[in-house]
Each structure stands twice: as C-alpha cells, then as structure tokens.
Structure 1
C-alpha cells in the first residue's frame, strides 16, 4: 500500500491527544487507505491487535449496525483492559445514524483514542460541533499531489525530464484520484472510473443526504460550475443561465444546491478579497473542482481552457499546503490567489505562458500594483528562462509542484 506521508504524519502527531481525529474529503481520495496505513503504524509501534478496533461501515460486516446504540454496544464489547488505551478507527462513520452520541459516550466512558473518516462536511456540523466542542480536529484530505502521483506511478527518479513531463500531462488530464493511476494509460477505463466516482458522490453524498427534489437541476449546476472553473460567477448568473437553458430555477435554490455540493467536497468556493478596502467581498465568487479529471469529465474538451485547469491545480496545491486562499481585487485588477497562513502571505498569478510581452505585462500588472513586501510569484507552464522579473518570482508549474515546503 502506497503511503500518504503528509496525512499519516498528521495522525501520528495527534496520537494519544485527547481530541477526536476527523478525516474528511471527497470519496475515493484515499481516506480508507489512510486509516489502514495508520493501523499498520500502530501495530509497528507495538500496539497489540486487541487494542485496535477498525470498522469500515461500507463493509457488509457492519450492515446490522444502524444506530449509535448498536455501535456503542459493539465497540464496548471489544474494549479490553481499561488501563491501556484502545485505538478506535471508524471509516465512513456518517452511515451510522446518530453516531455522534456514541463517539461522545466513548470519549467520556473509556480510555480511547478515536479516528473517524467521512465524505460529507455535514458530519462536522450541528450536533457533533455541540457535543464535541473543542474536542476534535479536522484533517482535510485531497486527491494525490503531483509528487504523490509520481510515487503511485512508480516513478523512482526525477532526472528523466521527458518522463516527468509525460506524467504531468496525464495528471493534468486525468487528475489525482489514487485509483486513476492504475488506469490512466486507458482513457475509456479512466473515464468509466471517474463516472462511477462522480455518480456515487452525487447520489450518496448530495441527493440522498439532502433529499434533493430535482437531481437533473443539480447535475446541470455542477456541470456549469465545472465548465466555469476560474471564472467569477454569482448565483443569479447561474440561475439565469440554467433558466435560459430550460431548467427554471431561482437564486435561492441555486444557493442551497451549491452549499450541498460544497459539503460533498467535490467543489470548493473561493471568495474575493479587496486589497484596498481590506475586506472580503460577499458576491462574485470563483469555484474550483477537487480533481481536474472530474472537471474534464463534466465539462468535456469543449470547455477545457488549459489556463483555468492550471489555475485549478495551483489552487488545490495551495490548500494542500494549508493556506487560506482568496481571490485578490485591487481596483479593476485581479490577483489570482492571495494565500495566507499564520504570519505568512504570498500573492500568486497563474498563466499558461508569459512568453509574449503582452501577456507578461498583463500578469505582472496586478502584482506590481500591490504595495507591500510579501512574496509575489507567477506560476506558468513555460520552461522558465528567467526566475525573477522586477522582484517577482517566476516558476514552472512542475518545479512548483515538486518543490519541498514546510
């Protein structure tokens, strides 16, 4: 089993701390495998098997566990000596009705260290937040980074640039869901795999969870967002477009459906930030997909603007590096991303190419208009001939994705 060290190391750092570890992310991004990797880590750390409880609620083994009472009874029967900690790993816990009460009871009644996964952000809302306020930490999991994609593709060296370029083209087109690396040499199989993942997310994590009344409208909305990745849109613009296309709806309905889609982790919303007014703006957001392969599947080649796909990849990498990301507005100019964490901030422009003067000047202009000393950079597909333009760092996308970071 391939390791996901970025996430595994987080679990290790939180081991034995009195908080519940909640791993969230879109379906098939690797959450179940991560729990198995952590189980292996525990065993190698001399935790005995009878002090590790592992349950995957998508397995038929646990089909009779329907509510928190039966879950609590099943788990407590497995807990051995109270003087030794028991590690409880529960996969896709949201499938058990009222599971929050069981988890809270275990935390109160037993000497346990609890790890959960789920494919819908609703699991972290309402009752869980109330019951476990201050006692859980969320670990947000994404599909593979390009580094991980190379590892899963069995690429052992970074010295073969032609091979790295070929694998990046595959990553660019098919995305980074772990199972894709098994089939990305076969477009038909990869598309079938992505269709299956998308349909499962829409059906189980959105339609069934929220009792969606108009699944066809929901699908049209997601496809619209996929085709407009990187474009500024509003709920009114979306509702007007869908109504004109024969799917009559309202801004309120679209707003509700977008919230449902975001909660399934398949789409991310990014708000704008006014750099002059120093405030977040409440209208005209941008949306990015969790995976470029799913984006291509939904939008088709007709809507594949490579510049926006590149922007989507950079956005995912920024949040993978645990930045808070906004779109920058400075007068009439736009900065693709403002990325912040703690006292760190960086301004990022993404451009397919800056080889011609006109494009280069256009991408530099908003960055040069910012009057502070935080780092500024342009990320491009160009094989960079210059690393610095007027104090602005320029970096090739592959070099950026493969660089080491803290």
Structure 2
C-alpha cells in the first residue's frame, strides 16, 4: 500500500518532539491518524531513536482489550519504559479507555515520556479534553486526504479536471485510493466507513437507537450542502416528507453528527457588524463522496460540491471559517486567522458577464482591504484581477500551485 506523505501533519509532530506537552491528533475514523503515527515512528527510528524506546498501543486492536482498564494500561507502559532514555508513547484511539486522563497525567509528569494520543470523537477530543488536560496538550485536527494529497496517490495519468472528478466521485479517505480503478469497491468501502462512524461514533455516543431518523437527517444535509438552514427548517422539511421530528431532536442529532466529525457547521459572520450570528448555518460533509453514497446524485449541484471541497481545504489551511453575511448578499467564506481576514467566493464558472458580476458584487461591497478571492473551475482566463479581487483557478489553488 502506497503511503501518502502528509508534510503538514508530520511537521506538527516533529515541531513538538520532546517538548513537555501531550500531542493530540483528532479526526474522523479512517482519516489516516494511525498512518501518520507510523510514518512518524519511522522518522524517529531513522533519527537515532531505538525500537525499545517506542511503545505503541492501538485500542481498536483486540490484542490490547485488557489494557482498556486504566490501571492495567499504566502498568503495561511503565514496565516497558527505558529508565535512562526518552520514551515515545503512542496511544491510538484512546477514547476506548475509561479514565484515560489518569494514565496520561501520570506519564506527563515524567521527564522521560513523550506522549502522543489520537481519538475519533470531536466532543471527546475537544470538549472533554480541554477540561481533562488543561494547558498540557497541543492538538492537531486531521481530515481525510486533500485534493493535493489525493492527486499524489493516483497511479493513472490524468488531466487536472479528470483528477478532480476522480476525487469527488471516489473518496478522500486514504485507503480508498487502493480501489481507484474499481468503483464498486470504493462504494463498498465508503459505505463501511460511514456505517461504522454512524453506529460507533454517533448513535452510541448519543445513546440513541433511532438509526432511521439520523440517516434521514444525514440525507437531508447531504442534499442541502451549502444551503443556509436551521434546526427548525430541517424539522419542518423532514416532517413534511413523512419523518416527524421536532427541532430539539434535530439539534441533538446535529450535535452528535458534528461530534463524530461526519459533518462540519459553518456559522454566519456579520461582515459589517463583525460578529457571529446565531440563526442559520451551512453544513458540509467530511468527505464530499458521502453525498453520492447518501443520495446517489453526483450529476447535480456540482457547485455546492465544489464549495464543500473548498471549505475543507480552508479548514486544513488553518483559522476559523465562516459564511459571510452582508446587508444584501452573502460571501461564501470568511476566514479569520492570526488577526487577518480573508474572503472567498466559489463558483464553477464566471465566463458569462452576468455571472461574473453576481459573484464579484458581494466581495466589492466589503469596505476593508483584506485579501479577496474568486475561485472557479474556469480554464479560459483562469486568473484575473478585478480591482484587488484575485480570480484563481480553484484546482491549481487546491494543489497549492497558486495559493
């Protein structure tokens, strides 16, 4: 199996090596957390670390089931630590260990323990974690493969547009690249990943058995990628379609789906008032291919699928990503990071003058001088500058060839 180099994630681990901080990697199941640990361990071995200095436990491996009791886990690790050397301790999918923080805390106070942990639940790895390990950890949020990473894993020679079509029709989960020439196999694999996340990380966490209702909600969200919606609107729409549900239940299920990292919520940001708005938000899938799996409709709404791809890429590049709200209109994405704001408008094509005018108008109405971008799939005049608004070919931008 070809392993995709993911330098941003590797550089995070290298940057904090031997620092007195717990390194946490969170991310949806099968996004590559265990693989990045493997690659990092290879890096350590090639830079003077001896095999006996590395302790690795994956709690999804039945061989380690007995270590899900925290006292047993602590004894196991202590018995294998080298007294006079730094020990690199990797605890994969640690959410399976009740009271895991007691083990991690005990290791944290030792000078010769460098601890790395992963988890697949956003609530567990962000909400609970902030309380359990306050001030003692750094967190890296992982996503499945970016378009750039996916392209590196392709074996067939393809044009840029063909690579993009393969990306949105296949899957961004790393292992799916093994089936790039076998669409049924990709679909079966993707279905397995989806069902595992839904059952183990969503329904079980919520203590809910209403699989049909949560599935209906996921299908609704998949069909409405990039649309402003509220729990009340979702409840009314689903009830009208024969799936009776109230807005409080919708809110509960939405939180469960966000916690399992199946979906992401982009809140609205008042560009003029410079504040977050509480009503209505947009939702995006962790893998755009889930849309095809859930509603089997890849031929339509390609603009919102592109929007989904861009949203995830902006998350990868860091910062908070919002939907920009204007008195008259909307900007697809407003990104805030390191005191800087960026504005992004996403469109399949702006070759028609009326479409170009429509897409530029929201950006033109923003009074500040922060960077503004128009991202399109246009191959004819892919780049332009409209009074400071930079038009870029979105595929080259995704490849970071034109960032």
Same fold, TM-score > 0.5, yes or no: yes
**1:189 corresponding residue in structure 2:** 185
* Aligned mates of 1:302, 1:60 — CA distance in 2: 38
**Secondary structure at 1:63's aligned position in 2?**
helix
Whether 1:147 and 2:153 are equivalent positions in the alignment is no
**Secondary structure at 1:336's aligned position in 2?**
strand
**Secondary structure at 2:226's aligned position in 1?**
coil
Measure how far apart 1:323 and its partner are.
2.5
Report if the CA contact (8 A) 1:296-1:304 is conserved: no
Measure how far apart 1:128 and its partner are.
3.5
Q: Which residues in structure 2 correspond to 1:60-71 (within 5 Å)?
A: 60-71=62-73
Report if the CA contact (8 A) 2:223-2:295 is conserved: yes
Q: Which residues in structure 2 correspond to 1:118-133 (within 5 Å)?
A: 118-125=119-126, 128-133=129-134
Match of 2:351 among 344, 352, 355: 355
Range 103-112 or range 387-396, more displaced: 103-112
Report if the CA contact (8 A) 1:100-1:127 is conserved: no
**Secondary structure at 2:282's aligned position in 1?**
strand
* Aligned mates of 2:127, 2:373 — CA distance in 1: 40
Match of 2:266 among 239, 252, 270: 270
Measure how far apart 1:124 and its partner are.
2.6
* Aligned mates of 2:311, 2:280 — CA distance in 1: 17
Match of 2:14 among 5, 12, 15: 12
Gaps of 5+ in 1: none
Report if the CA contact (8 A) 1:384-1:394 is conserved: no
**2:202 corresponding residue in structure 1:** 206
**Secondary structure at 2:349's aligned position in 1?**
coil
Q: 1:303 to 1:228 in 2, by over 3 A?
A: farther
Whether 1:40 and 2:42 are equivalent positions in the alignment is yes
* Aligned mates of 1:295, 1:148 — CA distance in 2: 21
Whether 1:256 and 2:257 are equivalent positions in the alignment is no
Alignment size in residue pairs:
400
Gaps of 5+ in 2: none
Measure how far apart 1:399 and its partner are.
1.1
**2:312 corresponding residue in structure 1:** 316
Q: 1:125 to 1:171 in 2, by over 3 A?
A: closer
Q: Which residues in structure 2 correspond to 1:7-406 (within 5 Å)?
A: 7-81=9-83, 83-109=84-110, 111-125=112-126, 128-154=129-155, 163-301=159-297, 304-385=300-381, 386-404=383-401
* Aligned mates of 2:258, 2:402 — CA distance in 1: 27
* Aligned mates of 1:148, 1:348 — CA distance in 2: 22
Q: 1:367 to 1:127 in 2, by over 3 A?
A: closer
TM-score for the superposition, normalised by structure 1? 0.94
Report if the CA contact (8 A) 1:104-1:131 is conserved: no
* Aligned mates of 2:232, 2:207 — CA distance in 1: 23
CA deviations over 1:259-291 (Å, ceiling 9, x no partner): 111011110000001112221000110001111
Measure how far apart 1:15 and its partner are.
0.7
* Aligned mates of 1:172, 1:191 — CA distance in 2: 12
* Aligned mates of 1:398, 1:345 — CA distance in 2: 22
**Secondary structure at 2:4's aligned position in 1?**
coil
**Secondary structure at 2:308's aligned position in 1?**
helix
TM-score for the superposition, normalised by structure 2? 0.95
CA RMSD of aligned residues (A): 1.7
Report if the CA contact (8 A) 2:59-2:68 is conserved: no
